Structure 1
């Protein structure tokens, strides 16, 4: 070995003593050298200001007494190469304290890690950056690593050092922009932050961007994590990996965890939520964002801790418990994910090391004017890698089944909500954000490869092509796209008085023109029942009974329409008041028969939907869909057929008029018996009980040569007919 003499410059002594050195391990720790005779000797240095005595204690309990050099740094030499040791320190009036030396350890971040991080391709980033418990060279402790490429120095501060970081400065990992330090003796649950020296000489205090646990807001410290959770959802995960969500039933119950019922955390909500979802028949729960966020009124859409479940409702293992329990009950879990923007709070990502790091430095690309938030720099590999790994983190560590990606349209367009002169075109002169597009393609392709059976869902409100197209054909690679056009048009239609709907039938049927261009999901989300929009029930015209009938007819039409379905909590039982995150749902409404009947209807509709493959098996296949109508059709009546791959047929017929249609001629696809499997006007749902005695029979019309029946349609109703696959002769 070619050791050189260990010499420390005076300015290095001062910088290390102040905790402002970019490479404190060059001074502190164990440093071997050759003396004049060629013997190997090791110098040990530690920073212990105000100490009375400092010893290095070796594994055989022998000691090396260190002497004070300068600026509170102590040193001593022993013969031979470096060997493990701990530091015993005596301060005036105190007993001896023995602790590990952070500066005797090699980096916990390897060369391969550095390479992958620099390329933005480290798919398990949370195992390298942030705080991780390790057994390192015989000592248990916590490794800290953070990306702060513009910092002059970085220190770890926390309860362990009285929030004074001079003794825990981190080492720079060179051009990677990473800083690293292993601190022995720290345990899970320890509070910490990073203290960063900016280029202009300011010390700023920041929470860990990779923190996997945090304090309960409004407190903002990061918490050293540790999970001892043992998953019990193996059967669910095996089934998931073997299925494709596009060909499965999906009716999603969207939940804001904090206001579903007051005072329930991740563990406490499990039993009542599971009971309610099973009772109402939804296939999935979608949680509004659960990543840590400073302001509860943002509903979680302004994230400060992308890797930390919000501590408002418990620990990360408590969230694991909730997901696990839902899976064991056969319920999928989707989570809102917000990679489009983040808040400007000083303690979090904004200007993380004093300059723009996570956000794009140009405000024309880096700031959302409407929302007062910052936009990620999607072209920077480390930022892209941070977000891609974050998506994988929720799938890997919390067994999430799908991510609903918020505000995708705002990511796709450089001129989103901007006037002329407020945005900069891309390199081709266009308005598309090419870096964001590449990021979305990468995160989708990577997620589907790494976790078969999951689903990525885009909240995308424009006509951007190929949102659910495969990435190898220039698509974005999502599994589903929210059908915002259908949502806006249909809500506008259903809010009209029935006597005026005949002239606006296109608001309900225009979606058939484009329904098969993407894999669509039909949403009635939280955004439609807040900010003065009123609840779904309150949007409907007429008295209370008519409002309920409209809701039932509308939902059954929606569930029959091509695409998957999402309904925000409370709408299943007819929440009257507009939603507010500050109070729980009006569960007392279920004491009223009409609201209990609406919830019963939703349960029966979900059950019929799940049992009817034509309604979900080939949602994106236009050859499995057909409009029905003539002869003598009515503009207030909309009818269509859905088919599966095995001969199954469902006909959906909606009468949005305020009057009954009795004996209405209807051409059906084939002759035979059609069972009435759902009638929103049934007495058990609160309706009048008008119907077709459970079935209709279609005969071949001699004049037109097509199977025809006469059907009775109650006012404000939707009926589902299922083909029994039996000829009329077999019924006689």
Structure 2
């Protein structure tokens, strides 16, 4: 995996915390607890006598009008901790509480910037609370019991008033089962328990806010409706779970929020929600309350996507970086173009480079700060659902890149979230990622493992994703990955294996396959770790497929050599068959191979422009016939000569009439379309990808000729003969072994066809089998596929 390293932890601009007087209007017309709204104006008392201050409250110890006593204000350590944002149970102090022996009901409220606060009961009675200073107000009403409902009338310095529900009158809105599963690290739908959840609670509509911060002294909620001042909204701790909770009545979808965390050292930090399902568009960093109303239309696809095991099915993948495929398009606009393009070219799947929210665009999405939120750069979560839905309706599967290997150090995100190493490992030797300036997850911590496992399920379940390509698996498996001697700590057995990461990957794969039938997980794993695609119950990691990085590297080395030197590298093309059945492989020509000076695929080829395009076509023909599934990055399907740039995307102008000559870039794209068409129609190319019975060399040692020939077989034994000539000369009457039982062979694909830009050297008509095999005409720098005539 090669991608830009962030120059430093970037802290994009964030909403500014203010301590100015309360605002004079509610944002976007929502109900608000801090912003007085004119339509909510209420008298705090009956009309006063002339010259009397309408909000004046008699000072203590004077009794209230009904003779009820004024309750003791919050004092001592409780007051200090409450005002400092360090109280674990603010609900025990704030809200309504019955006094002993029928002494009435005590009310307390924390409203910074308020001038006066009154309680409004269900029968309309209003009683002013005493100002205890520092935004605290208290009073006693002569009520027999705590009322089922009441509201607070709050007046501010500018004279505005607001009538609002008291968030501290509500019981905890998170159940014991949820808390138990969080503690155990077994909550497979964690996004339903943590984060911001729009809901109805005790008959009131609002939003439940929950966050896991076990080492925090205190947590407060801040949002756009509080001017990012969290002093008035302390959250309560829900015991040993480490979860903090607050139900906010009247807060609905679209509200911006963060959590103000007080760490063990007393330091305050304003943090985005790790479980946010929607975010502001970067560089802004707030989380956004959201709930989905999307109605899916892909029922047929979802019901049948798992009918055939993926390793026995066609699997041809077009890799896409959504922001740059057609720069400027939103999710919904992409949904009008991408499915049609991919379907026309015959790919079975698209693979989307990471779509989770990330602050630094040149990271291409591989440095994630919001694992549960599709990037807001292209639209809303429901907009992303629409794109997936349209791809499914076009018969195209959707795989997304998933990055559980590391996360950035931004101080508003996951790093030292509660003031301690929480998501990252506490040992810097296991937390610091040396390649990317990021942090690695602590896979041994149950809650962290749960956060990631549930996230994998979330994308598959909530967005109908068909597969997860797991990034940088090797960096997770080895404790010494990219580390020098002395810079890493061995495991408990003295080895370099990260057994915590192994157990995490096994749990993730087992959970995803159990909960989401038809989904496939794909490992980007660049080493020879044994059993990556072996089932977990047999000791493997449990992935469905693995990128064949060895094949990719070796074959690109071969084709980059001048043809006269290729005979010295012949084994680079044949070695893959030594281990081809050790795993279930995907052959990737990904974004990593066409950036950072590596050149585009066509530009890796030697020779003049014609020879480069011919080599490009021959290589694709070889790749599509080789055992394993295949993946091709955008732009390579029409032989773009320049490296990919995330700022500009593919060079689509190369396909315009002004730049088109017969068989040029359009010809290469036509070849990819025909490769996929023939591939899907010939089961020999995919049905037995993972068993040796599906392959046989016809000619594997013709190093001097730069020729490779092999036979692929389907489950019924029907063959396909693939022959690649990587020399720039025509080879007439070239003799090859061919399997018995086939009297004649016919070309089904020839990458030298004129319509692709080739010289149109063909085998006209059926090629009859002779006693010693077949004799073919091999076009230069070309691959030919033949099937029984």
Which TM bucket (shorter chain)? over 0.9
Counterpart position of 2:712:
642
Residues 358 and 365, structure 2, Cα contact 8 Å, conserved in 1? yes
**Matched residues in 1 for 2:158 and 2:438: separation?**
51
- Closer, same or farther in 2 for the Cα pair 1:505/1:49, shift >3 Å? closer
The correspondence for 2:121, drawn from 58, 67, 87, is 58
Residues 650 and 720, structure 1, Cα contact 8 Å, conserved in 2? yes
1:279 Cα offset (Å): 1.9
**Matched residues in 1 for 2:78 and 2:296: separation?**
50
Secondary structure of 2:469's aligned partner: strand
Residues 48 and 74, structure 1, Cα contact 8 Å, conserved in 2? no
Counterpart position of 1:673:
744
- Closer, same or farther in 2 for the Cα pair 1:653/1:377, shift >3 Å? same
Residues 306 and 390, structure 1, Cα contact 8 Å, conserved in 2? yes
Matched, 1:83 2:154: no
Residues 17 and 73, structure 1, Cα contact 8 Å, conserved in 2? no
The correspondence for 2:729, drawn from 654, 659, 662, is 659
- Closer, same or farther in 2 for the Cα pair 1:503/1:51, shift >3 Å? closer
Matched, 1:20 2:83: no
Residues 69 and 75, structure 1, Cα contact 8 Å, conserved in 2? no
Matched, 1:454 2:513: no
**Matched residues in 1 for 2:489 and 2:377: separation?**
39
1:630 Cα offset (Å): 8.5
Secondary structure of 1:550's aligned partner: helix
Counterpart position of 1:255:
320
**Matched residues in 2 for 1:242 and 1:391: separation?**
22
Secondary structure of 1:523's aligned partner: strand
Q: Any residues of structure 2 matched to 1:701-712 within 5 Å, and which?
A: 701=772, 708-712=773-777
Secondary structure of 2:504's aligned partner: helix
1:14 Cα offset (Å): 3.5
**Matched residues in 1 for 2:505 and 2:248: separation?**
37
**What RMSD, in angstroms, separates the aligned Cα atoms of the two structures?**
1.7
1:503 Cα offset (Å): 2.2
Matched, 1:127 2:192: yes
Matched, 1:30 2:84: no
Matched, 1:74 2:145: no
Secondary structure of 1:175's aligned partner: helix
- Closer, same or farther in 2 for the Cα pair 1:694/1:13, shift >3 Å? farther
Matched, 1:689 2:689: no
**Matched residues in 2 for 1:629 and 1:489: separation?**
19
Matched, 1:500 2:570: no
**Matched residues in 1 for 2:255 and 2:106: separation?**
31
Q: Any residues of structure 2 matched to 1:202-281 within 5 Å, and which?
A: 202-281=267-346
**Matched residues in 2 for 1:685 and 1:443: separation?**
44
**Matched residues in 1 for 2:312 and 2:122: separation?**
62
Bigger Cα displacement from structure 2, 447-456 vs 40-49: 40-49
**Matched residues in 2 for 1:130 and 1:651: separation?**
56
Secondary structure of 1:389's aligned partner: helix
Note the alpha carbon deviations across 1:562-581, whole angstroms, 9 max, x for none. 10000000000011111111
**Matched residues in 1 for 2:311 and 2:627: separation?**
11
Residues 650 and 723, structure 1, Cα contact 8 Å, conserved in 2? yes
Residues 748 and 785, structure 2, Cα contact 8 Å, conserved in 1? yes
Note the alpha carbon deviations across 1:628-677, whole angstroms, 9 max, x for none. 12898964111111111123211111111111111111111123122211
- Could you tell me the TM-score, scaled by structure 2's length? 0.88
**Matched residues in 1 for 2:760 and 2:115: separation?**
91
Q: Any residues of structure 2 matched to 1:178-577 within 5 Å, and which?
A: 178-577=243-642
**Aligned residue-pair number:** 711
- What stretches of structure 2 of length at least 5 have no aligned partner? 1-70
- What stretches of structure 1 of length at least 5 have no aligned partner? 702-707, 725-732
Counterpart position of 1:728:
none
**Matched residues in 2 for 1:552 and 1:714: separation?**
12
Secondary structure of 1:443's aligned partner: helix
1:398 Cα offset (Å): 0.7
1:428 Cα offset (Å): 1.1
- Closer, same or farther in 2 for the Cα pair 1:93/1:535, shift >3 Å? closer
Note the alpha carbon deviations across 1:466-506, whole angstroms, 9 max, x for none. 00000001100000000000000000000111121122111
**Matched residues in 2 for 1:239 and 1:497: separation?**
47
Counterpart position of 1:698:
769
Residues 32 and 82, structure 1, Cα contact 8 Å, conserved in 2? no
Bigger Cα displacement from structure 2, 84-93 vs 127-136: 84-93
Counterpart position of 2:171:
106
Secondary structure of 2:564's aligned partner: helix
**Matched residues in 2 for 1:75 and 1:604: separation?**
80
Matched, 1:608 2:678: yes
The correspondence for 1:618, drawn from 688, 702, 706, is 688
**Matched residues in 1 for 2:345 and 2:220: separation?**
52
**Matched residues in 2 for 1:270 and 1:485: separation?**
35
Secondary structure of 2:429's aligned partner: helix
1:55 Cα offset (Å): 2.8
Counterpart position of 1:730:
none
**Matched residues in 1 for 2:756 and 2:210: separation?**
58
Counterpart position of 2:697:
627
Residues 478 and 497, structure 2, Cα contact 8 Å, conserved in 1? yes
1:308 Cα offset (Å): 0.8
Residues 631 and 667, structure 1, Cα contact 8 Å, conserved in 2? no
Residues 567 and 703, structure 2, Cα contact 8 Å, conserved in 1? no
**Matched residues in 1 for 2:718 and 2:536: separation?**
32
**Matched residues in 2 for 1:355 and 1:630: separation?**
58
